[in-house]
Amino acid sequence: MDFFWGWINAIIPVLIVPYYSVIGGWVIKYLLEYVKGNSSSLAQDGYFSEFISNGFSTEICFIIFCLITLIIIYAGVRNGIERVSKFMMPILIVLSLIISIYSVTRPGAMEGVKYFLVPNPKNFSWMSVVAAMGQMFYSLSIAMGILITFGSYMKKDISIEDSTRNVEVFDTAIAIMAGLMIIPAVFAFSGGNPDTLQAGPALMFITIPKVFENMGLGTAIGILFFLLVLFAALTSSIALTESAVSTFEDEIGWSRKKSTVLVGVIMIVLGSLSSLGYGPLAFVKIIGMQFLDFFDFLTNSVMMPIAALMTSLW
């Protein structure tokens, strides 16, 4: 059974990173459009749904995101992952601070800050608890094999307690800044209407472009915001992919090149289902869900909680 639960933890990132890379491709598309000065087009009703239903555009952006991830993984831990992380993480923190400060200083933004930081019992529900637990699994990389993988790369003189504390502090700080980047800006745009805080991709790819379009320096902030999201998405996809690649290296004895190629093929095949699932393959549904939604439900709501629980108890 130890073998079984171990492989469940290894399979989870293999299933997550394909559809995660699809969303990463969407981020690349929006970043490029902001760079080209097409912020007004991104803010139009129906732009996002039209984009994701266009199989060719979504597939190209998805493949670009996959290639960036795989090239970094192929370069190895020191020359690829470590070097890129040292470059991206400080920039991610700086961009978060800049956008957070800009967001909370907009007229009417303080109502959003209160909504975000002041507890309201009326908003509490068991579904919100479940949603928070699901976010916790993603945010802390629980039940994906990522912590074990990167823990194995640590030097023996590094304190696990100190590293754990650092993860807790930085994860919480970044989460708070993410909330300050988005919620106050949405409140300022909507006049304090919390109903505009849609969940899921709609918030990032529909509401946020509308918010930026109605803000001063909207194009510049849009570029910074989606660059930040791209860096965040890449660091996550790199961690997920490295976990999968290291499994094939350690358990089967394959080289990094061979393991990376195999994981890359899996990413492209499974990810293409999610990428095309809102377009040419929209007619195909699994238990009433599109491919991306199904893979998200399978890993986030089923496999990860079970794997985490059984790994702890077994």
Q: Three-state secondary structure along the chain?
A: CHHHHHHHHHHHHHHHHHHHHHHHHHHHHHHHHHHCCCHHHHCCCCHHHHHHCCHHHHHHHHHHHHHHHHHHHHCCHHHHHHHHHHHHHHHHHHHHHHHHHHHHCCCCHHHHHHHHHCCCHHHCCHHHHHHHHHHHHHHCCCCCCHHHHHHCCCCCCCCHHHHHHHHHHHHHHHHHHHHHHHHHHHHHHHCCCHHHCCCCHHHHHHHHHHHHHCCCCHHHHHHHHHHHHHHHHHHHHHHHHHHHHHHHHHHHCCCHHHHHHHHHHHHHHHHHHHHHCCCCCCCCCECCECHHHHHHHHHHHHHHHHHHHHHHHC
pLDDT at site 3: 61
Other CB atoms within 10 Å distance of the CB of residue 222? 26
The residue written with tokens 């492209």 in the block is 268
pLDDT at 14 (0 to 100): 92
Q: Provide the β-strand partners of residue 289.
A: 286
Q: How confident is the model at residue 278 (pLDDT cuts 50, 70, 90)?
A: very high
Quote the pLDDT of residue 128. Answer: 78
Lowest-confidence region among 15-24, 147-156, 223-232, 238-247 = 147-156
Residues 32-65: tens digit of each pLDDT: 999 999 888 998 988 999 999 988 899 999 999 9
**97 vs 146 pLDDT, higher one:** 97
pTM of the entire structure? 0.88
- Mean pLDDT of all residues in 76-84: 76
- Other beta carbons within 10 Å of 129: 10
Per-residue model confidence (pLDDT) at position 293? 92
Whole-angstrom Cα distance, residue 257 to residue 151?
A: 22
* Residue that has been written with the tokens 């960036």 in this structure: 68
pLDDT of residue 70: 95
Structure tokens at 255: 């080289």
| Torsional class of 154: left (φ above 0), alpha (ψ -120 to 50), beta (otherwise) | beta
Mean pLDDT, all residues of the chain: 86
* Contact (Cβ atoms closer than 8 angstroms) between residue 10 and residue 216: no
User: Model confidence at 31, in pLDDT bands (50, 70, 90)?
Assistant: very high
pLDDT beyond 70 at 118:
yes
Segment 182-200 shows an average pLDDT of 74
Confidence of residue 72 (pLDDT cuts 50, 70, 90): very high
How would residue 136 be classed by pLDDT, with cut points 50, 70 and 90?
Answer: confident
Look at the block and give the residue holding tokens 């293999």. 14
CA-to-CA distance for 53 and 192, rounded, in angstroms? 32
pLDDT score recorded for residue 58: 95
CA atoms within 13 A on the CB side of 142: 22
Task: Identify the pLDDT of residue 1.
Answer: 57
Share of the chain above pLDDT 70, in %: 95
